[in-house]
Chains A and B, each alone.
Chain A
Amino acid sequence: MRFTVKAKLIASFALVILLTGGMALVAKDGIVRLDETARNLAGLYTDRIVVANEIRHALDSSTRDEKDMLLETDDEKIRSRDVLILNSRKESHDGIKKLLAISVDAQKKNLDKLEETLIRYDAIQDRVRVLGKSNGLTHAMNQSMGEGEKEFQTIQSILRQISERSVGAVESAPIERLRVAFMAERLMHYFQSSMKYERTTILAPNDAATDTAIKMSEARQDAVSTLLPAFVKALSGPDQHFADELKDRFLHWRQIHEEVMALARENSNLHATELSQGESRVVAGELENQIDAIIGVARGVMADASAEAKDLALHLRLSLLITVVLVMLIAIGAAIWLVVSITRGLSRAVTLANAVAVGDLSQTIMVTSNDEIKDLSVALTTMTGNLREIATQTRSATENLNSATAEIRASTQQQAAGVEEQLAAVQETSATLDEITQSGVQMARRAKEVASAAEIAVQASHAGLHAAEDTTKAMDAIRDQAESVAENIVMLSEKTQAIGEIIITVNDIAERSHLLALNAAIEAASAGEHGRSFAVVAAEIKNLADQAKDATSQVRTILSEIQRGINSSVMLTEEAVKRVAYGKEQTDTTQRTIHDMSDNIQISVQTFQQIVAATNQHQIGLEQTMQALQNIRQASKQTTDSTRQLDGAAANLSALGQQLARAVSQYRL
């Protein structure tokens, strides 16, 4: 089986490439797994922790906004805080949904639990929001310090006036006035106590204190309600007009007081704070713990993935190292095998080439491999054999060359003699051709003259042809005009016929006039003397009629002469037309003759031109022949010189043959 060097190289490189490809596949698989792990680490696991932290942040924001809302007293700010709470709550729920989408199943249970706790926290926070948004204590404070305080001061002022006036007149005032003053002082005291317990209720730190303050305030209100009717009733004199005002203001103040107490009794701010600080905080703590647990699980998964990635990278690095070493060993083995198999055969070939270089053609080589090296060895062996055979042939050829060289020298000397004779013959031929050339020049000149004469004849025939054509056209014109003349004459004849008809009419009129004149004369005669003048007129008419008849007779005679003249003219014109037609036929014949003659002359001109061209061509041929003879003569001279040189070369060749014989004898066959 033949296993060429090319096949060896291809097999070696294919093996290396296959091993490298396998190594690359192993590395690719490991890199893909490593990349997936890294992607998880960099993306998914990190996202879980980030989202969990976002949920924690949203919860913190919600709790902070809840506290801030409880600390606010302005309703507008409270509403804005409430909006922020709802936004943070929405972010928390969105975060849980997002985390659910990227979490594993084990983590989803924790998230469900977290969402459940968050819903519970939202419910508690909703209660806090309701209480916070009511802002009862603030409203109660504003009522109490605002309109309630104003009404209270007015009532106190009235009561003070009544009391002072009653006290100012104590020395002379009856006991009723003193009692009124006393009642006014007591009312002022009860009012002040009511206001004190109202503020106490508002500022109560807990529900118990609130209840105590409310009870004290209600006791004072009952006292006022009992005392005020008696006081109003007791008013008299100038204080009487305060009675209605006091009752109205008291009712108004009491209405405000009851509203304030209702708000204070509700104590929403306190309850909201307690709820926020108590139950809400507990649930928020649970949420915090659950989020920490989720983050902890995520961190654990992330740590596991990181460890797995490290193991994978280590495994991949080891696999690649082993594969590279294996591939390198195989490649080195293949290279050594290639070098050995190629260089062994080549060294044998070099040995054979060196032997041939020194003239030893008896060496041979043997190669066991079946590749290009073997082909080279076989070729070198064949080359050596062929060189051997060539050397043998060269040796015998050299001997033949020497004998052939001697024969060449002899034939060269004979050829020199022949060339001398050829040179003399060429000179004689040149003289003869020179004479032929001269006669050819004269013949060409005569032919040109004849052609020129024929050309002139052609031009003359063309002119004659044009003249004949013009004559034909003129004849046609004459014929047309003669025919027109004939038509005009015929038309004139028709006119004379019309005149004849007119003459007939005139003659008839003359005849009638003649008869009329006769009858007139007859009538005149019958009239006797009375018709004598009429007879004269009739005679004159008759004379005129007779003269008219004579004139018409003369005109008829003239017309007859004219008609004869017209007939004669028509005949003459017809004869002229016939003669013109005959002339045209003659002209056509002449034209055809001239045309034929022109064609013949043209053919002759062309023939002469061809003769001139042929003569010129012949002349050129003679000149070329002369030139060729010159070249032959020159070549003969050169041949003579070459023959001498050839003789010298043959001598040199003989010497070279002897040298070659000596050189060939050096080969070892």
Chain B
Amino acid sequence: MIRRAIDWADVHRRLEQSQAALSDTSEQSSERVRQILAERTRRMAAVVVDTRKERLALLLVCRLGAERYAMHLGEVAEVAALGALALPPRAPPALLGAMNLRGVVHRVFDLGRLMGGAGLVGAGEPGGHVVVLRRQEFPTGLRVDQAEGIVPILADRLAVNASAHQNCFTKTMVDGLLILDLDKIKALIAGPGK
């Protein structure tokens, strides 16, 4: 096979272009920051307008395997990365262990195992996040694959879809999100925990 000869001039030109692009990226970082700040300002102004007109419910979206769950933000104390766990003897299968979070020992339960694994394809990735719940007798966290973010949902929509998608652990489903019934989960936690 006869290979085409290298056009060294073209090679040098492409290298120079790459170098120039890299330099432009470095130089435009301050401009990029300014644009981000402007966009943030704009969004903040928009949110203020929206919150004054409508009533929104804030939900924490978590991914567990291929499915995405949401829970009321008012039930969540914080989200943390899953750290080192100490597994006590004779612990229930759903209890992953105890985790030290800023000096406070938290119980960490696997959300997938608590829910019996139904419909959790691909759950159990290494790492993951811990969603710390509010108002628990013992500090408690639920391990999820990823806490993706917070989404505002109109409260009216949550009430409309409640009857159609209610099962053991979920209340309803909005825009593809399964809204968890944290009361049932807490009751479940209270059982094994005791």
Contacts and interface: CB of A to CB of B under 8 A. Distances in A.
The residue in B76, B78, B149 that gathers the most chain A C-beta atoms within 10 A of its C-beta is B149
The residue in A518, A525, A546 that gathers the most chain B C-beta atoms within 10 A of its C-beta is A518
Interface string A525-547: 11000001101111110101010
B48 interface: yes
Contact of B147 (A518, A526, A536, A537): A518
Nearest to B44: A536
B175 to A, nearest CB: 17
Main secondary structure of the interface of B (DSSP, over half): strand
Interface string B38-58: 011001100110010000001
A517 B58 CA distance: 14
Interface string A360-374: 000000000000000
Contacts of A526: 74
A539 B80 CA distance: 17
Interface string A499-541: 0000000000001101101110111011000001101111110
Contacts of A522: 60, 73, 76-79, 150
B147 A539 contact: no
Contact of A540 (B43, B58, B73, B81): B43
B63 interface: no
Contacts of A511: 81
A392 to B, nearest CB: 121
B129 interface: yes
B81 to A, nearest CB: 6
A319 to B, nearest CB: 137
B36 interface: yes
B60 A518 contact: yes
A521 B73 contact: yes
Contact of A515 (B48, B147, B150): B147
A537 B40 contact: yes
A66 B17 CA distance: 149
A539 B43 contact: yes
A526 B149 CA distance: 16
A536 B40 contact: yes
B2 to A, nearest CB: 15
The range of chain A's interface size is: 20 to 34
Contacts of B80: 515, 519
A196 B132 CA distance: 185
A529 to B, nearest CB: 8
A515 B73 contact: no
Interface residues of B, number: 22
Given A518-B60, A519-B78, A519-B79, A539 B36 contact: no
B48 A540 contact: no
A256 B71 CA distance: 182
Main secondary structure of the interface of A (DSSP, over half): helix
Contacts of A512: 81
Interface string B140-175: 000000010110000000000000000000000000
A542 B43 contact: no
B51 A515 contact: no
Given A518-B60, A519-B79, A522-B60, A533 B48 contact: yes
A442 B74 CA distance: 123
Given A521-B58, A525-B74, A539 B81 contact: no
A402 to B, nearest CB: 114
B77 A515 contact: no
A532 B73 contact: no
A533 B129 contact: no
B36 A515 contact: no
Contact of A518 (B39, B47, B48, B149): B149
A515 B80 CA distance: 6
A644 B43 CA distance: 153
Interface string A396-428: 000000000000000000000000000000000
A525 B73 contact: yes
A512 B81 CA distance: 8
A574 B77 CA distance: 58
Contacts of B60: 518, 522
Contacts of B51: 532
Contacts of B79: 515, 518-519, 522
Contacts of A525: 58, 73-74, 150
Contacts of B150: 518, 521-522, 525, 535, 538-539, 542
A99 to B, nearest CB: 137
Contacts of A538: 150
B43 A515 contact: no
B149 A542 contact: yes
A170 B12 CA distance: 182
Contacts of A523: 78
Contacts of B76: 522
A525 B134 CA distance: 13
Contacts of B44: 533, 536-537, 540
B47 A532 contact: yes
A184 B104 CA distance: 180
A515 B81 contact: yes
Contact of B36 (A535, A536, A544): A544
A521 B150 CA distance: 7
A234 B129 CA distance: 187
A525 B58 CA distance: 8
Nearest to B149: A542
B38 to A, nearest CB: 11
A616 B92 CA distance: 118
Nearest to B74: A525
A521 B44 CA distance: 13
A522 to B, nearest CB: 5
Contacts of A540: 36, 39-40, 43-44
A506 to B, nearest CB: 14
B78 to A, nearest CB: 5
B144 to A, nearest CB: 11
A566 to B, nearest CB: 15
Interface in A179-227: none
Nearest to B77: A522
Nearest to A519: B78
A470 B61 CA distance: 72
Contacts of A532: 47-48, 51
A558 to B, nearest CB: 12
Contacts of A521: 58, 73, 150
The residue in A511, A536, A546 that gathers the most chain B C-beta atoms within 10 A of its C-beta is A536
Given A511-B81, A522-B150, 8 more contacts: A515-B79, A515-B129, A518-B149, A519-B80, A522-B60, A525-B73, A536-B44, A540-B40
In the A-B complex, the 8 residue pairs with the smallest Cβ-Cβ separation, listed nearest first, are A536-B44, A518-B79, A540-B40, A525-B73, A521-B150, A519-B78, A525-B58, A536-B47
16 contacts: A515-B81, A517-B149, A518-B60, A518-B79, A518-B149, A518-B150, A521-B73, A521-B150, A522-B73, A525-B58, A525-B73, A532-B47, A535-B150, A537-B40, A538-B150, A546-B149
Interface of B: 36, 39-40, 43-44, 47-48, 51, 58, 60, 73-74, 76-81, 129, 147, 149-150
